[in-house]
């Protein structure tokens, strides 16, 4: 695969990388040094890591943010949306950018996809794994997710508003400007990908993947997370042999902005271990 349509901006390099003949992913590639690769959650994009990019580049790291197919500025094809497809896409991007020995970090659905990537490819391209409020190993009860799928195909704005209300530790935990910023990112997602990824979140089971992870793993999780309850962090910790949990006592699901300073400092601490 080849790079195309590379752009240089005031904040770094933005490029589109082909993962299939007619599918290109938007990738942000900033800084120089040891590499950190970040995977966003549903239905966000690589834009969600704005405050991690700036912090890590200033600390001497190269940071790569990949927007999954169907989201943000990436192409939005019809077709399958599942963890296998996403993992394959990530591998092509890392191969194209010659990435080795990176920390791979993923938020929410992106955390689940990162687990699958590490298990499927036996740790290829990475030497550490960081999971942020990951929707794994099994996200939720099928019946509950079916209601979200129904709403996605009848009233997507209402679905996203409902999620916004429970994204933080409380309805007022995230400031109005930040909530508006996140909402804008959410609406860049394809309606089709939004629905199909809910189906994947409902159906994917990563319990067998946990035991296949052989790289050191940090599990960041909000103790007040309603979307991905803290019990998921405990299950991941029990299943991943070389792992530890960092509790975010004042965070819901949005730990990357609710406790921004702690999130960044704990990530840096894991990088320097």
| pTM, two decimal places | 0.95
Encode pLDDT of 94-148 as tens digits: 999 999 999 999 999 999 999 999 999 999 999 999 999 999 999 988 888 999 9
User: What integer pLDDT is reported at residue 7 of this predicted model?
Assistant: 47
| Active site amino acids | 108, 225, 253
Cβ atoms within 10 Å of 42's Cβ, excluding its own: 25
Measure the CA–CA gap between 166 and 174, rounded to whole angstroms. 10
Residue numbers in the chain where pLDDT is lower than 70: 1-12
Residue 12's pLDDT is 60
Class (C level, CATH) for 3-271: alpha beta
Task: Give 124's DSSP letter.
Answer: T
145-155 in b/e form (b: 16+ CB < 10 A) is beebbebbeee
Label residue 70 left, alpha or beta by phi (over 0 means left) and psi (-120 to 50 means alpha).
left
């Amino acid at each position: 695969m080849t790079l195309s349509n590379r752009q240089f901006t005031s904040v770094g390099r933005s490029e589109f990388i082909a993962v299939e003949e007619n599918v290109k992913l938007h990738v942000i590639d900033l800084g120089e040094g040891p590499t950190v690769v970040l995977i966003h959650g549903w239905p966000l994009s690589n834009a969600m890591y704005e405050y991690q990019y700036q912090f890590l580049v200033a600390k001497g790291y190269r940071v790569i943010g990949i927007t999954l197919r169907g989201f943000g500025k990436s192409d939005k094809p019809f077709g399958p949306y599942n963890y296998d497809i996403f993992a394959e896409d990530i591998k092509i991007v890392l191969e194209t950018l010659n990435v080795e020995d990176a920390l791979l970090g993923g938020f929410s659905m992106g955390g689940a996809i990162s687990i699958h990537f590490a298990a499927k490819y036996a740790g290829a391209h990475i030497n550490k794994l960081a999971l942020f409020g990951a929707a794994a190993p099994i996200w939720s009860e099928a019946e509950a997710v079916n209601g979200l799928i129904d709403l996605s195909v009848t009233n997507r704005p209402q679905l996203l508003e409902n999620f916004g209300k429970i994204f933080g530790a409380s309805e007022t935990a995230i400031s109005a400007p930040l909530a508006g910023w996140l909402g804008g990112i959410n609406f860049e997602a394809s309606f089709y990908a939004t629905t199909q990824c809910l189906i994947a979140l409902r159906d994917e089971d990563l319990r067998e993947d946990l035991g296949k992870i052989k790289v050191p793993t940090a599990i960041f999780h909000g103790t007040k997370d309603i979307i991905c309850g803290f019990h998921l962090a405990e299950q991941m910790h029990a299943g991943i042999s070389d792992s530890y949990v960092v509790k975010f006592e004042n965070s819901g699901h949005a730990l990357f902005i609710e406790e921004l300073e702690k999130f960044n400092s704990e990530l840096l601490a894991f990088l320097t271990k």
